[in-house]
Amino acid sequence: MSSQDIPEENLPAEHGAGHDEHGAVTVADEKNPFADPGLPPHEHRVQDIDERAARRSERVVAMLFTVSMLATVGFIASYVAIPHDKAIYVFPIGHINALNFALGLTLGLALFAIGAGAVHWARTLMSDVEIADERHPVEASPEVKAKVMDDFRQGAKESALGRRKLIRNTMFGAMALFPLSGVMLLRDLGPLPGTKLRHTLWSKGKLLVNMNTNEPLRASDVSVGSLTFAKPEGLEEKDEDFQTQIAKSALMIVRLQPDNIKDKRELEWSHEGIVAFSKICTHVGCPISLYEQQTHHVLCPCHQSTFDLSDGARVIFGPAGHALPQLRIGVNDEGYLEALGDFEEPVGPAFWERG
Amino acid sequence: MSTNDTTATRRGKAPAGERVADWADGRLGIYSLAKTNMRKIFPDHWSFMLGEVCLYSFIIIILTGVYLTLFFHPSMNEVEYHGSYIPLQGQMMSEAFNSTMHISFDVRGGLLIRQIHHWAALIFLAGMFVHMMRVFFTGAFRKPREVNWLFGFLLLVLGMFTGFTGYSLPDDLLSGTGVRFMEGAILSVPIVGTYLSMFLFGGEFPGGDFVARFYSIHILLLPGIMLGLLVGHLILVFYHKHTQFAGPGRTNNNVVGMPLLPVYMAKAGGFFFLVFGVIAAIAAIASINPIWTMGPYRPDMVSTGAQPDWYMGFSEGLIRVMPGWEINLWGHTLVLGVFIPLVIFPLVLVAIAVYPFVEAWVTGDRREHHILDRPRNAPTRTAFGAAWVSWYFVLMIGGGNDLWATHFHLSINSITWFVRVGFFVVPVLVFLATKRMCLGLQRRDRDKVLHGRESGIIKRLPHGEFIEVHEPLSQDALHTLTAHEQYKPLEIGPTTDDNGVERKLKGSQKLRAKLSEAYFGDESQISKPTVEEYKEITSGHGHH
């Protein structure tokens, strides 16, 4: 794929060929009206010719630097004087933290004024005569290249790497193998997956505990149209693995009219129209939390996957790939809702071993 | 002053600054370094400051980031909140969240530094994006700057991941949701997905490790690599010298502008303070990532309108609009609905990164280019770039489909379908439209050169006709408008040789000829006016 096979005449002519005197203002070329006329003559700014204007610029720069000093003093004063929990009303932002507001504005002003001063100084008082610098090609000259190649050949020859094949091969072998130690060391970053993603805390007889009240749920507590979140009994916020367990066991409980349930298995696994589904979206694992009670749809606020809870929680819109797993529930002797086993399929996002 | 006097002065009482410089020169050779660089020329153009915005925001991020590490605890141990923000008191949260609350409410100025850090990160990424577009649309990536283009590209990609790991550290509800999304995406990888997830999180999600791991990635690993790339990027900018636009006196063999000392030093140095000052002011008035309103992360809770930081928006769009395809075969699941977006995500970025090499192959041009192209004079490149940008933004619309739906009262289903179709169609339309616009602008330039500029003066001729007087351009303008190069399309000749035998042509050669025709054929560029055309028209006085 070299470019050598492109004929030279297809490439445009070099830029600026024959214009070696940079910056020289040439007279208009009669033969070529498009020729480079060279750098235009320098135009004086008002500060270059009028000392009073230059002094004005000087005062502006000095004023900006002074503003910066004052702003820094203001920063220190704000830091010391303003209590850290004081709120003020600033139109149109609203109520904001007074200290943050004061520190930010004074710091911003102190910095901005330095910048504005420096730029104004450069633009009005420093020379604005354009200067041209030569460029030199990056590529080395053929002589330099030849010298380098010779040196390399000499060095390679002296190393005898090409001649002593045994050394070469064993060295490559050693270099290729030693990074494996580093790879091995990564093994203990985490456990092997095993069947961890298939199991949750739910098991036969575990009560459904209301997430908000922390009390076991009775069937009578769940009214038609409501949405209740539940966790397995025994899982407490202070538990060390609470976050990891709730990430799999969180439940969403709704009550439907049993005649509205279209899916046969869903009806079997429900109790008097109360159904329990995993709250974790089967797309990438966000908790589903928007329930439309008229249509029995739930929506994941992250990526808008929508599931129909009256029809086995199958996906009716969005990027999720399969229905939400349902937990089989019943009622114990005391009237509390209980699980009748673990989920029959893994909850949450799909993965290779899910099957 | 005699020679003796000078030596005496030097030996006796050289100014302190000079003595320090002498000392350093004897050990570091600074005079040789300064000889070539102190008065190094930098050309002036507003678009050249975009890269500076990136550099300065990176420095600001490092400065503020170091401050934040003094107070942040990268731990996921659950603690009860007892800080001064009343609504969250008594809540369980990770130490990471707790210490971020402490920085925001109990460290004076802590909130300001946090907000400067986050705002500077957003500006850093936006700056890199716009800077990269500047380099792309002006052809500044051409030889000898291809390697620097790749350095810049890597900085953008690493910047995205540094941003992601950074905003995940406070362990708040929003960022935890983003991490969960990442875990779900990793799980979709065939065969190794579950293993990768277990190794990254030290077990099942969320576990107790990821904040500490993200912390070392965010403050050490990625910024360390980025700092190296950044230094390399700057060294190459110095070494290659800056590009410049064509104009009188500016050739491919020179660089015209102001010297580093004093003008550029004052302007660029001052610009650092301008950038820092503006970001500090933004941080004073515009709240960013108010973690206290979101609360600590709980895997079973979420809020609506969850959005990643803007630079991750296009990947969010990919994942949102992809149909939920899942294939179950032989006891395994291929999660195409998540895995395909995960694969396209890097490809979107790679598409723009490899472009310079494709163009270099098509043109076969091995010369150095230091004069920038005006976008109109490279219609195919400009059209490709515009198509890519439109692709990116279509995906960003997909990433915010819920916000588009609520703010503009649209159906989320229609937005999703728009993005699904637009993903394929919009870039094509934008490509065609941009190319036409470029050709139109080229025609306009050609007219201007040949017929002069419109003066706005209407003249009535003796026989009653009205004409507008056109004024001829100055030689400066004529040169600037005709300085660009135009390639001829590559010809591979007839497919048979003189004896009627089919010539052996490699597929790559044919492809290259086709691409070359598409780039430089009659329909892809307007030939610039020649001297002959110009003379013919200007000599015939009285025409307009």
User: How many CB atoms are located within 10 Å of the residue B16 CB?
Assistant: 8
Residue A22 has pLDDT above 50, yes or no: no
Contact B14, B22 (CB under 8 A): yes
CA distance B301 to chain A (A): 6
Q: A1 falls in which pLDDT band (50, 70, 90)?
A: very low
CATH number, domain of A203, equals 2.102.10.10
Does one domain contain both A255 and A303? yes
Does one domain contain both B92 and B206? yes
Residue B540 has pLDDT above 80, yes or no: no
All residues of chain A having their beta carbon less than 8 Å from the beta carbon of residue B194 are: 193, 197, 351-353
Could you tell me if residue B384 is inside a domain?
no
Interface touch A133/B191, C-beta < 8 Å: no
Percent above pLDDT 70 for chain A: 92
Rounded CA gap, B363 and B524, in Å? 14
Tell me the average pLDDT across B456-477: 91
Q: How many residues does chain B have?
A: 544
Residue A194 has pLDDT above 70, yes or no: yes
Q: A3 falls in which pLDDT band (50, 70, 90)?
A: very low
Tell me the average pLDDT across B129-137: 97
Does one domain contain both A160 and A92? no
Interface touch A33/B475, C-beta < 8 Å: yes
Three-state DSSP class for residue B458: strand
Q: Which helix (H) or strand (E) holds B327?
A: strand B327-329
- The region of weakest confidence among A211-215, B60-64, B228-232, B495-499 is B495-499
B287, B310, B333: which is the final residue of a domain? B310
pLDDT in tens, A306-324: 999 999 899 998 899 999 9
CA torsion angle A99 A101 A107 A111 (round to 10): 180
Contact B447, B482 (CB under 8 A): no
Interface touch A250/B299, C-beta < 8 Å: yes
Tell me the average pLDDT across B149-166: 96
Q: Looking at per-residue confidence, does B245 or B11 come out higher? A: B245
Q: B506 falls in which pLDDT band (50, 70, 90)?
A: confident
Interface touch B187/A351, C-beta < 8 Å: yes
Tell me the average pLDDT across B194-201: 94
Which residue on chain A is closest to B116 by alpha carbon?
A104
Of A230, A44, A105, nearest in space to B112 by CA = A105
List the single best residue of B273, B321, B329 to mutate versus A (max A Cβ within 10 A). B273
Supply the angle between the helices B146-168 and B355-363 in degrees, to the nearest 10. Answer: 170
* pLDDT score recorded for residue B544: 46
- A108: containing domain: 19-131
Contact A208, A234 (CB under 8 A): no
Does one domain contain both B215 and B132? yes
Rounded CA gap, B447 and B252, in Å? 26
Which residue in this structure is represented by tokens 């025609």? B443
Residue B538 has pLDDT above 90, yes or no: no
Please give the structure tokens belonging to residue A109: 């002003």
Rounded CA gap, A271 and A220, in Å? 11
Interface touch A135/B254, C-beta < 8 Å: yes
What single DSSP character describes residue B220? I
Which residue on chain B is closest to A10 by alpha carbon?
B488
- Partner residue opposite A105 with nearest CB, options B206, B259, B284: B284
Does one domain contain both A151 and A271? no
Contact A288, A294 (CB under 8 A): no
**ipTM score here?**
0.90
Does one domain contain both B21 and B85? no
Mean pLDDT of chain B: 91
Tell me the average pLDDT across A113-124: 96
A-proximal residues of B, 460-489, CB under 8 Å: 475-476, 478-479, 482-483, 485-489
Mean pLDDT of chain A: 89
A-proximal residues of B, 45-64, CB under 8 Å: none
pLDDT in tens, B224-272: 999 999 999 999 999 999 999 999 999 999 999 999 999 999 999 999 9
Does one domain contain both A227 and A340? yes
Percent above pLDDT 70 for chain B: 97
Contact B302, A289 (CB under 8 A): yes
CA distance A200 to chain B (A): 11
A-proximal residues of B, 83-112, CB under 8 Å: 84, 92, 105-106, 108-109, 111-112
Could you tell me if residue A183 is inside a domain?
no
Which residue on chain B is closest to A129 by alpha carbon?
B258
Residue B495 has pLDDT above 90, yes or no: no
Tell me the average pLDDT across A149-166: 93
CA distance B96 to chain A (A): 15
Does one domain contain both A201 and A320? yes
- B22: containing domain: 3-33
Could you tell me if residue B333 is inside a domain?
no
